């Protein structure tokens, strides 16, 4: 077979070959799927990244894992459709465009809605494809012909259809409710979009004087500015200390409003004084209490976070300045009892980090409880599998305590709510097609709702809207439900649960069969990556420096179910070395396959030696292991097996052992046999590695000339059972004996500080197990080659001037008397033993201390026990070596 001149070059340069092969894959239509009833479908939808976004490590991990599965499934013969796309990201995109306009001195509020939306579409057209191009750099094998955008025409049609149908069934309604409000973004946020941080605040104890008699109640609050909106004081019905106040009336400080003391189960008797102020317009729990007790809410803070006309003399102050002023006035009135330091969770906007305001507002909601009921049932019935399984409990916990979903957002960018209010009769017309008149009275004086839908509303439809729903397309019939969803645990509530509810409602089936939840990518210290900490690793920078394959293999190898990933550039650099190792091993193979006729039968005959048969057996074992692990989504374990096999067994052992035969030193028959094995093993290895590192494997596949097609169009390798179980056990035992013998000789060389260039003239092997003598004798040439020794003799005597290694099956004597200074070496060993004796004493001191054994963690005790064991083993070896070095050859012979 001809050797690819390019591959013979010493350097592996990923950038050029990655661009070359990705373009080639796309030109061949490798990633595109059409309905094909002769094949089994495998479908997956990408978690749509924000159109404003750029690739971060979370995206890199998520899409690497999806890509591994998709490439593997293609090679397994499945008809794979991986749908890509982006999310319009309402708040984020509107904020980005507003900032860009502000740089030009333009305020969005001075523009018409239509003019602003035109600017957003311009921005999307220019910058919205950035993350898509970065995903291609990563090697994502998406069906780019099917790329979707949550606001494209088809998906917008699906959104309207869902809204209208839910509304007509009474599952969407409009009503006043306390919502999370961002005073900066001027929009409602769902509970899931609130980021809570524990902050140091203050707990203010305030007196509320009784109306009918002297005295007062004391109520604790963290938000004195809302006292202006108090309409009641509440006590838990079972609170024996405070129940006597129920039915009394008190005056609200500052405003002098008379309010009742009521009883309600909502009250936590352990908080503050056990009594709480009820402000229905500014607290979600208080709002529910107000509804139960028919209390009129009083709103004192407006949408900008400033006090309104109901706040009296505090009108116009921002909420935090008002807090300070009100506290001063309460204190001046003699009604401030005390102030305590208090840590509590404070909600922030997930986009701009502004402290949120519970705000009474008219919004649109989805009634989720009826939808959640079935979504819980299908998971309990096993129709959706969660990997790792523990995440199903998180899902249940949220779904069983679900609240109605606020779906309206006070933005311009997004799916505008398809509801029109009649100015004449106040009737609301909800329609998939823009109406021209009120459906109730026929008036043309109708106005569309100003709000847009929560971004997650359109994302919840993603598995079926991307396939053409509400039309009953061939893709929906063939590819739905999707096979797998790969996502992060942080959006189980935002996205996964809502997709399940919507899929069941509108497709009458689950949206996916498997949900794989991956962990977070953290820095090497386990901290979450953030720009403020300066610990962000940019995947695009990594791809530019190390190549996409190195990044992909790092992420896959660190992915262990249930564990976060601790990432560092050192780990990525280590995987880059692995790419170099594969590259150099392939160069070696190609240079030694130059005269190999690949059409020659690949049957293996008795010309194979131990190491040939062993590597053939091992590559088939690895094939089965990797296949099983990918099927179970054990990406890290599969990567480790491939890494250990390629680097250790193939490169460090087999290739080194095969060199004499490949050079022709063992005869032409042995050369051909070794070439067959090398060809066979490399073909399988490249196929196994391809889903993980597609670029370098595609390059090497063509360099070997295995076929003119893409490696991905080749079938996934099967396991060929060439040996029976007895033969396998024999191969495993014999190769272990050979490798451990060689390793022991190398260790002796290292202990004597012998450089690789020094050939030790004589090695003696004293077999203690006669059954392995034949194995070592048959492979004497391999031992000499890999241990850098000259003559090997198999004798039962113990030579002098040697270093010894004691193995279960033999004693190995490296005779170094003629090449090192014996007395200096003995002195060095004695000094080393002195240091080990000190280590032994330290360990014994700790391990004999009952306090240490009882108080230290178990792993610390075990570590100390191991340290003691290793020190003693090393001292035993030192004693053996000193005795062996001191013994002269004449003494050993009895002369």
Kindly state the percentage of the chain with pLDDT values over 70.
97
Gyration radius of the chain's alpha carbons = 37
Per-residue DSSP letter, 711: G
Q: Which structural domain range is residue 211 located in? A: 194-358
One domain for residues 656 and 550: yes
Alpha-carbon gap, residue 222 to 340, rounded angstroms: 10
In a domain, 292, yes or no: yes
pLDDT(142) > 50: yes
pLDDT at 787 over 90: yes
Least confident of 2-11, 14-23, 67-76, 301-310: 2-11
Residues 559 and 645 in one domain: yes
What is the number of domains present in the chain?
Answer: 3
Is residue 408 included in any domain, yes or no?
Answer: no
Tell me, yes or no, whether 604 and 693 share the same domain: yes
* Dihedral, CA of residue 411, residue 416, residue 419 and residue 425, to nearest 10: 50
How confident is the model at residue 601, as a pLDDT? 59
49 and 86 Cβ atoms separated by less than 8 Å: yes
The answer on 692 and 549 residing in a single domain is yes
CATH of the domain at 696: 1.10.730.10
Q: pLDDT digits over 448-477, tens only? A: 999 999 999 999 999 999 999 999 999 999
- Confirm whether 524 is domain-assigned: no
Domain end (from 694, 723, 752):
723
Pair 631, 750 in one domain: no
Q: Let me know: does 14 contact 52? Beta carbons within 8 Å.
A: no
Environment class of 432 (CB within 10 Å of its CB; exposed 0-12, middle 13-18, buried 19+): middle
Q: Are residues 223 and 318 in the same domain?
A: yes
Residue 176, in any domain of the structure: no
Q: What is the DSSP letter of 301?
A: B
**CATH number for the domain that contains residue 813:** 1.10.287.380
Q: What is the pLDDT of residue 890?
A: 41
Buried b (16+ CB within 10 A) or exposed e, 206-218: bbbbeeeeeeebe
Beta bridge partners of 86: 149
651-687 confidence digits (pLDDT tens): 999 999 999 999 998 888 999 999 999 999 999 999 9
- pLDDT category, 220, cuts 50, 70, 90? very high
Report yes or no: 514 and 485 within 8 Å, Cβ to Cβ: yes
pLDDT given at position 889: 38
The answer to pTM > 0.75 is: yes
**Residue 447 located in a structural domain:** no
Asked if residues 129 and 114 have their Cβ atoms less than 8 Å apart, the reply is: no
Residues 820 and 717 in one domain: no
In a domain? residue 112: no
Please state, in angstroms and rounded to a whole number, the distance separating the CA atoms of residues 69 and 57. 19
pLDDT > 90? residue 883: no
Domain-located, residue 42 = no
Pair 889, 842 in one domain: yes
Write down the mean pLDDT value for the chain: 91
Q: Are residues 758 and 845 in the same domain?
A: yes
Which of 309, 336, 358 is the endpoint of a domain? 358
Q: pLDDT value at position 893?
A: 42
Neighbours of 336 (CB within 10 A): 19
Are 753 and 883 part of one and the same domain? yes
Phi and psi at residue 608, to the nearest 5°: -80, 140
Kindly state whether residues 715 and 807 are assigned to the same domain. no
Which residues are CB-neighbours of 794 under 8 A, at least 6 positions away?
764, 765, 766, 767, 773, 776, 777
Give Cα separations from 362 to 187, 288, 319, 448 (angstroms): 12, 15, 21, 15
- Is 103 marked as binding a ligand? no
pLDDT at 4 over 60: no
Residue 507 covered by a domain: no
pLDDT interval class at 600 (50, 70, 90): low
- Whether 377 has a pLDDT exceeding 80, the answer reads yes
Residues shown for the chain: 895
Residues 230 and 329 in one domain: yes
Domain C-terminal end among 330, 358, 386: 358
CA atoms within 13 A on the CB side of 698: 24
Residues 404 and 366 sit within 8 Å (Cβ to Cβ): yes
Burial 272-285 (b: 16+ CB within 10 A, else e): bebbbbbbbbbbbb
pLDDT in tens, 515-567: 999 988 888 888 887 776 788 889 999 999 999 999 999 999 999 987 888 99
């Amino acid at each position: 077979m001809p050797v690819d001149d390019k591959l013979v070059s010493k350097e592996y340069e990923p950038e050029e070959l990655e661009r070359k092969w990705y373009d080639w894959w796309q030109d061949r239509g490798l990633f595109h799927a059409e309905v094909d009833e002769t094949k089994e479908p495998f479908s997956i939808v990408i978690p749509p990244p924000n159109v404003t976004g750029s690739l971060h490590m979370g995206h890199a991990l998520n899409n690497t894992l999806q890509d591994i599965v998709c490439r593997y499934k293609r090679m397994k013969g499945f008809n794979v459709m991986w749908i890509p796309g982006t999310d319009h990201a309402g708040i984020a995109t509107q904020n980005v465009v507003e900032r860009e306009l502000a740089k030009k001195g333009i305020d969005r509020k001075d523009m018409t809605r239509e003019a602003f939306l035109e600017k957003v579409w311009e921005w999307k057209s220019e910058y919205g494809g950035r993350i898509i191009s970065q995903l291609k750099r990563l090697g994502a094998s998406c069906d780019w012909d099917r790329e979707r955008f949550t606001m494209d025409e088809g998906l917008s049609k699906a959104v309207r259809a869902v809204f209208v149908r839910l509304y007509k069934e009474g599952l969407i309604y409009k009503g006043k409710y306390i919502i999370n409000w961002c005073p900066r973004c001027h929009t409602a946020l769902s509970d899931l979009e609130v980021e809570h941080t524990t902050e140091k605040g203050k707990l203010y104890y305030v007196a509320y004087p009784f109306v009918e008699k002297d005295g007062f109640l004391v109520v604790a609050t963290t938000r004195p500015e809302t006292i202006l909106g108090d309409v009641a004081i509440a006590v838990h019905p079972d609170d024996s200390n405070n129940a006597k106040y129920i039915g009394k009336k008190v005056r609200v400080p500052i405003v002098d409003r008379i309010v009742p003391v009521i009883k309600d189960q909502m009250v936590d008797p352990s908080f503050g004084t056990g009594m709480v102020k009820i402000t229905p317009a500014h607290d979600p729990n208080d709002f529910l209490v107000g509804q139960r007790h028919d209390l009129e809410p009083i709103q004192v803070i407006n949408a900008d976070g400033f006090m309104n006309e109901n706040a009296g003399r505090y009108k116009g102050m921002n909420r935090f300045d008002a807090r300070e002023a009100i506290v001063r006035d309460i204190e001046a009135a003699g009604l401030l009892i005390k102030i305590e330091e208090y840590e509590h969770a404070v909600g922030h906007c997930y986009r701009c980090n502004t402290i949120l305001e519970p705000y009474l507002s008219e919004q649109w909601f989805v009634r989720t409880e009826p939808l959640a009921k079935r979504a819980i049932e299908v998971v309990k019935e096993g129709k959706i599998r969660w990997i790792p399984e523990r995440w199903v409990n998180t899902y249940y916990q949220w779904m069983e305590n679900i609240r109605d979903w606020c779906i309206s957002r006070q933005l311009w960018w997004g799916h505008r709510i398809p509801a029109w209010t009649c100015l004449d009769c106040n009737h609301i017309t909800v329609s998939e097609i823009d109406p021209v008149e009120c459906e109730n009275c026929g008036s043309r004086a109708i106005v569309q709702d100003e709000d847009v839908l929560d971004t997650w509303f359109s994302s919840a439809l993603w598995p079926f809207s991307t396939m053409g729903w509400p039309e009953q397309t061939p893709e929906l019939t063939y590819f739905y439900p999707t096979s797998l969803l790969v996502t992060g645990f942080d959006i189980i509530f935002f996205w996964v649960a809502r997709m399940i509810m919507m899929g069941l409602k509108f497709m009458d089936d689950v949206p996916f069969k498997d949900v794989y939840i991956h962990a977070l990518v953290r820095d090497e210290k386990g901290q979450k990556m953030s720009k403020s900490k300066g610990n962000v690793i940019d995947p695009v920078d990594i791809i530019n420096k190390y190549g996409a394959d190195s990044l992909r293999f790092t992420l896959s190898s660190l992915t262990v179910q249930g564990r976060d990933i601790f990432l560092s550039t050192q780990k990525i650099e280590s995987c880059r070395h692995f790419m170099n190792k594969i590259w150099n091993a392939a160069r070696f193979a190609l240079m030694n396959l130059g005269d190999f006729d690949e059409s020659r039968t690949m049957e293996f005959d008795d010309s194979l030696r131990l190491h040939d048969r062993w590597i053939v057996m091992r590559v088939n074992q690895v094939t089965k292991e990797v296949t099983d692990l990918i099927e179970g989504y054990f990406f890290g374990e599969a990567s480790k097996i491939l890494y250990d096999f390629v680097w250790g067994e193939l490169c460090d052992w087999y290739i080194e052992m095969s060199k004499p035969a490949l050079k022709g030193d063992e005869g032409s028959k042995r050369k051909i046999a070794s070439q067959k094995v090398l060809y066979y093993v490399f073909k399988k290895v490249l196929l196994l590695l391809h889903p993980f590192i597609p670029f370098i494997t595609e390059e090497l596949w063509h360099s070997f000339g295995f076929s003119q097609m893409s490696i991905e169009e080749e079938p996934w390798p099967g396991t060929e059972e060439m040996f029976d179980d007895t033969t396998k056990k024999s191969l495993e035992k014999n190769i272990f004996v050979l490798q451990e013998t060689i390793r022991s000789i190398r260790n002796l060389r290292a202990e004597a500080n012998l450089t690789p260039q020094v050939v030790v003239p004589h090695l003696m092997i004293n077999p203690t197990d006669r059954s392995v003598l034949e194995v070592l004798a048959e492979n004497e040439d391999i031992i000499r080659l890999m241990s850098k020794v000259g003559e090997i003799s198999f004798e039962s005597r113990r030579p002098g001037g040697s270093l010894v290694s004691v193995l279960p099956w033999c004693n190995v004597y490296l005779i170094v008397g003629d090449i090192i200074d014996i007395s200096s070496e003995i002195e060095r060993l004695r000094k080393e033993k002195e240091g080990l004796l000190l280590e032994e004493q330290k360990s014994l001191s700790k391990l004999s201390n009952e306090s240490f054994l009882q108080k230290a963690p178990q792993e610390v005790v075990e570590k100390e026990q191991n340290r003691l064991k290793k020190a003693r083993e090393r001292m035993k070896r030192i004693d053996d070596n000193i005795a062996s070095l001191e013994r002269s050859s004449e003494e050993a012979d009895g002369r």
